[in-house]
Chains A and B, each alone.
Chain A
């Protein structure tokens, strides 16, 4: 629909007075800001020498959480793959090993294409057992496309790295839905 003439408002630039035409007050104003910053604490971060501290809800690289026995928490329900708007998660489910008494199904393979991912965090929202989480790791690099396709082992190693470094503690809601999301004893 074209815009009607009556809806159009024409704005005129305000006319400069004598002081404005001299530009001196404006220069003084600018200098005040510049000089003021010289005496304020520095905000610039010296990346990459100095790494930023990101908030805990930053959405970076995914990880697959481990339960208290070190097994993957994931129960291969495909909720993350279903919720994923970029279709970057590929899971192959299988019956869990007979020694795993608390669950019947586990992911035989769990692959995330980190290049396809848009880091929206939907997978984290969808997970019923808090098995997939987005970490604060943001500087993700790789030399080939294949390197950016993360398999189960890689995603579990992200868990190991981030929990050991203490940057991303486990954010579990503790056992709301099933045995796989129970907190480790003593936690």
Chain B
């Protein structure tokens, strides 16, 4: 088995093609780097990952008397890598047979410190007002590998900031360390190539062509990529300090890709969405729609408490008064004419919610019809990178799906299990007026998607209960309007367009007067006990064997499961 030694520790690399940074990671050693990113091409321009290299042959190590950029140097069997952290290695590891005069790690350590000194020459020390402070790689590595004082006697270079770089992104030019990650991203991933380095040497800057701002559907990723605070999201600018944020590993509810995301929350308010690396699903990136599309959660128009119509106007109601009335009305409709009761389960519900709600109604009467809610489709699938003419290039590195809901497959699987067929919403719309009761479990972040699906004017059914974020045209005709909870506000599971199952934890609490879909399903079905996903997942595992693994899954650990039903 090919073996590489990182700070004397043997690492078996098998047939993998790795560079020094990746091998060091396998060995549990950090090789600091700025310009290297596994999703982008290698340029070895920041010089932060410098390591010493040599070969082990016949029990003796021959070191090459220079330092190598770790990100650009592939490793082979018998290679010896010595990083600047050599002294911090596990003392129990047997030492390799180095030359007596060779001091392992000295050269790499000095190179790293020198590199950092160079990077900090022109970097302003405005960490107190920089949004990146606290998660800044320059800060972290300066602390770990750098020197505490600058020897610069000249004035720092202070090029002007460029807030006009993009409508969503601002550039603090003086903070940039020219790692060119953002430039390579726009060239290799989005393919739009808006960004480039202009100027030479000391005067190098990131810039766009005049009149060609950084506007593409993946532009927000350059903010995540920036290792320092040079590129900032205008949406997040100066709103929070990062050390106040709590991060949850969520799933983006924006389209049927279901990108893995980090949801950063402070005091139960979603502050920021970041991409979470998941090579099984979307890769390293997310789209701007998902990144900045969370604002509906704190929209002032959002329905945050149950509403009932009183003399033509919506009035807030207390759950204690409302729930018995609601249950009575539903029970009566199911008892009188179960065939004319329809439950609409939207593709924004989690698998657990759809299952709990669907089975609660099916338990009341097996004749109740379960219907898949309107599936919003906007435009066509949008693949990246693009070529100069804006046409997608194969192989696609990122795709924004046209289907703007996260869980159609999951809800369809539940429906197919509970009643054997999936009825689309459009099939029941013509007989809407003659129905006895319709329970519309929505949760559509965009009211227009519901408005488009229910072609007005429609005649409302005798009893219409709508659970949604906004007062849509459907909700206007309802007897009860209940608040919905967003994907950030609940535990659950989404199944994406490819059948990839991702359970996720709750990031924030829902509005105080909202009642979760899961709890409501328990209330309607007269079920006792705590309404938690763990309980529902156990039932789900019994009903749908494809989801059996969910019952034991740890939250946030995605696992690929092919669904037998779709």
Contacts and interface: CB of A to CB of B under 8 A. Distances in A.
Contacts of A178: 125-126, 128-129
A182 to B, nearest CB: 14
Contacts of B161: 104
Interface stretch (A13-21, A75-83, A154-162): A75-83
Interface of B: 125-126, 128-129, 161, 237-239, 241, 243-244
B125 A76 contact: no
Interface of A: 75-79, 82, 93-95, 103-105, 128-129, 177-178
25 contacts: A75-B128, A75-B129, A76-B238, A78-B241, A78-B244, A82-B241, A82-B243, A93-B238, A93-B239, A94-B238, A95-B237, A95-B238, A103-B129, A104-B129, A104-B161, A104-B238, A105-B129, A105-B238, A128-B128, A129-B128, A177-B128, A178-B125, A178-B126, A178-B128, A178-B129
Nearest to B234: A95
Given A105-B129, A177-B125, 16 more contacts: A75-B128, A76-B129, A77-B128, A77-B129, A77-B241, A78-B244, A79-B128, A82-B241, A82-B243, A93-B239, A95-B238, A103-B129, A104-B161, A105-B238, A178-B128, A178-B129
Nearest to A91: B241
Which 3 residue pairs of A and B lie closest in terms of their CB atoms, listed nearest first?
A77-B128, A93-B238, A128-B128
A128 B244 CA distance: 19
Nearest to B161: A104
Contacts of A105: 129, 238
Nearest to A77: B128
B200 to A, nearest CB: 28
Contacts of B243: 82
B9 to A, nearest CB: 38
Contacts of A104: 129, 161, 238
Contacts of A94: 238
Contacts of A129: 128
Q: Describe B's contact surface by its main secondary structure.
A: loop
A128 B225 CA distance: 28
A94 B237 CA distance: 8
A24 B351 CA distance: 94
A82 B243 CA distance: 9
Contacts of B237: 95
Contacts of A95: 237-238
A82 B129 CA distance: 14
Contacts of B238: 76, 93-95, 104-105
Nearest to B239: A93
A103 B244 CA distance: 23
Nearest to B125: A177
A76 B133 CA distance: 13
Contacts of A177: 125, 128
Most buried by A among B237, B238, B244: B238
A166 B161 CA distance: 40
Contacts of B244: 78
Nearest to A92: B239
Most buried by A among B239, B241, B243: B241
Contacts of A76: 129, 238
A77 B126 CA distance: 10
B127 to A, nearest CB: 8
Contacts of A79: 128
A75 to B, nearest CB: 5
A79 B238 CA distance: 14
Most buried by A among B126, B128, B239, B243: B128
Contacts of A128: 128
B477 to A, nearest CB: 41
Most buried by A among B129, B241, B244: B129
A103 B128 CA distance: 12
A145 B129 CA distance: 32
A77 B244 CA distance: 12
A72 to B, nearest CB: 14
A79 B133 CA distance: 11
Contacts of A77: 128-129, 241
A109 B128 CA distance: 17
A77 B132 CA distance: 12
Nearest to A95: B238
Nearest to B172: A104
A75 B127 CA distance: 11
Nearest to A104: B129
Nearest to B237: A95
B73 to A, nearest CB: 39
Nearest to A81: B241
Contacts of A82: 241, 243
A75 B239 CA distance: 13
Contacts of B239: 93
Contacts of B128: 75, 77, 79, 128-129, 177-178
A131 to B, nearest CB: 10
A136 B500 CA distance: 64
Most buried by B among A79, A82, A93, A94: A93
Contacts of B125: 177-178
A56 B481 CA distance: 62
B235 to A, nearest CB: 13
A37 to B, nearest CB: 53
A95 B163 CA distance: 12
B230 to A, nearest CB: 13
A131 B299 CA distance: 35
A77 B127 CA distance: 9
A123 to B, nearest CB: 13
Contacts of B129: 75-77, 103-105, 178
A103 B124 CA distance: 13
A93 B241 CA distance: 10
B401 to A, nearest CB: 35
